[in-house]
Amino acid sequence: MSELQFFPANWTRKSSVVLASSVFILGVLPASAHTLEKHFKVGPQPVVTINNPDGKIVVRAWTKSEVMVVADHVADKAEVDAQQSGNRVDLMTHALSEPASPDDLKADLEISVPEDAELQIHNDAGEVNVLDVLGDMTVETIAAGVDVEDAAGYLTVKTVGGSFQCVRCAGRVEASSITGSFRFLDLRSYLVRAQTSKGDIFFTGEFLPNGDYKLKNYSGTIEVHFKPGDSFDLSATSVKGKVNNEAKLVPPDHPQHYMPKFGNALFGTFNAAGRARVELSSFDGTINILKQN
């Protein structure tokens, strides 16, 4: 009589470990994970507002005239509410009962929107990722980091401590923070305003003709990479820090009206043709103006 086999013939000790681990993981997963999926038909340039206290928000553009929301939250005390009003879709995570802890209000959202959608996002903690959206957007966070790629609209980002990264953005960019750092990569914007107190600012991209670029911090490093073909008027001032420059600048024709009397300052023109305006200022941080490799 053959032995009873509870496991397949190729069962190994490793398989047992995997099974045991799976059972353990299932055991610790919350029993009440909630998923919401909703679809909204919208017209051109819809407005999508998102208010979420904590979690990961991913917004992607697609070709449909529709907003799709997939929301996941764990706790029973919270609910993700999605409603349409005309050409606007409002998403809000809110408490169903009190008291609710910050963890109770945690929700992850994945949203697909038409590429011309306008976004208004408020997410205190977690992270915000926006991909390929060409409409205007406003993002406000406290601790959440913000990552935007291939945007073309007017972009306004305000964080308290969250970092901000903007990759291949082409519209007007305004960013402010207290301790968040900024990274602008392959930027093609004609206007950039970025100010942070205790954070680094890193910039690579094109200085477009007649573009206006103002980067400012209190402490930290401001690093700007220019290409040999760029053309800009440069003003770089650090009250108590250093200014390091690799650009061969022609001194201005006329003395600067606001030539600072304090700190380290640099003024001049690099390649006279297009003349974007680049203004870099720091209180006691270091400013690096470097050739882009």
Partner 1 sequence: MSPSPCEEFSKHLESWLEESHDPVMEAHVRSCARCNALVEDLGAIRATAFEWAYPEDEPSPSLWTSLRAQLEAEGLIHVQTTSWWDRLTSWVPSSSRPVLAGAYVAILVAVAFAISGPGESRLDRQLWLQSAENTSQPLQQDLDLAEQATVSTLPQSNSPVTASLQKNLAVVDNYIVLCEKSVRDDPQDEVAREYLFDAYQQKADLLAVMSERGDYEQ
- Rank residues 141 and 271 by Cβ distance to partner 1 and give the closer one: 141
The piece of 165-173, 183-191, 228-236, 261-269 that touches partner 1 (CB under 8 A) is: 261-269
Q: Is 262 in the site for partner 1 (CB under 8 A)?
A: yes
DSSP code at position 239: S
Q: What share of the chain is helix, strand, coil (3-state, %, to 5)?
A: 5, 55, 40
118: its two tokens: 């306008």
Of 58, 66, 227, 260, which one interacts with partner 1 (CB under 8 A)? 260
Q: Is 195 in the site for partner 1 (CB under 8 A)?
A: yes
CB of 280 to partner 1, least distance (A): 13
Q: Is 158 left (phi over 0), alpha (psi -120 to 50) or beta?
A: beta
Three-state SS annotation for 116-137: CCEEEEEEEEEEEEEECCCCCE
Query: Residues 83 to 142: which contact partner 1 by CB under 8 A?
Result: 101-102, 124-125, 142
Of 58, 143, 185, 249, which one interacts with partner 1 (CB under 8 A)? 143
Of 52, 204, 237, 269, which one interacts with partner 1 (CB under 8 A)? 237
Query: Residues 28 to 57: which contact partner 1 by CB under 8 A?
Result: 53-54
Rg, C-alpha atoms of the chain: 25
Of 161, 252, 268, 274, which one interacts with partner 1 (CB under 8 A)? 161
8 Å CB contact between 65 and 41: yes
